[in-house]
Amino acid sequence: MKKEVVQLNIKDINTGRNQSRIDLYDEKIESLAESIKDTGLLQPVLVRKVEDHYELVSGERRYLACRLNGYESIDAIIVDLNDEESARLVLEENLQRQDLNAIEQAMAMKAIMKNEDLTQGELAERLGYKQSTVANKLRLLKLPEYVQRAIAHNTITERHARALLNVPEEKIEEVFLTITNKKYNVSKTEEYIKGLLSNDTHRKGVSGNVKIGLNTLKQSYELCRKSGIDADMKVTEYDDEIKIVIRMKK
């Protein structure tokens, strides 16, 4: 790997395809830009040659800060890396960043697994993690986008999100709004969800035939909707019964 520092035109550099950060344009970029104005760029960015341009491998924040300052050129080190090596370097660098949130970590892990056809176990071994750590990160990507954004913006923590993974899909939004509006800590959130699931189990502890019947009706309703019928369905659960109302326009 070459270590010579060269000056490259910023316009000739594209951000890397493997960059996993999703919240780059924030006040931290402005702060870094001011710092670079005062002290200069202390650490060059890493790039690799791809066809007629350069692709950023490492140093996206520094690159963006220099662009914000209006710089026409930037200190860079050109490295000879293939797609796999570049992706691995980006992942390992990003996962070592203290400010990388859990969703960004999960996205980086998912990308490298896809690009290199790795299993969770193989990725965990490469990173020096337990397989359960990788699995728990990746499970966060199953949550709705609004929950993922909340994690990315520190509205809730990763532990809050793990608790939400136990909530039935149809109730996640309700629980999410409750824990965020009431500012529940992790312990309170886990306690609240545990109580919610316990109540649901008690209320829904009827025969499995009822669940089968409900699912059958829901599937029939969806088929009607897909066939173009203007319809709506409302399900109301009581302690001892479930009321289902389906209305169809003539």
Q: Show the tokens assigned to 167.
A: 């909530």
**Secondary structure, 3-state, 171-191:** HHHHHHHHHHHCCCCHHHHHH
Q: Show the tokens assigned to 162.
A: 């793990």
Q: Contact at 8 Å (CB) between 39 and 68?
A: no
Q: Residue 1's closest CA among 60, 48, 66?
A: 48
Residue 81 exposure: Cα atoms within 13 Å on the Cβ side: 23
Beta-strand pair 242-248/53-58: unpaired
Catalytic machinery residues: 60
Beta-strand pair 231-237/53-58: unpaired
Q: Contact at 8 Å (CB) between 117 and 33?
A: no
Q: Contact at 8 Å (CB) between 199 and 176?
A: no
Integer Cα distance of 105 and 161 in angstroms: 14
Integer Cα distance of 210 and 245 in angstroms: 16
Q: Contact at 8 Å (CB) between 143 and 162?
A: no
Give, in degrees to the nearest 5, the angle at Cα 151 between 145 and 152: 85
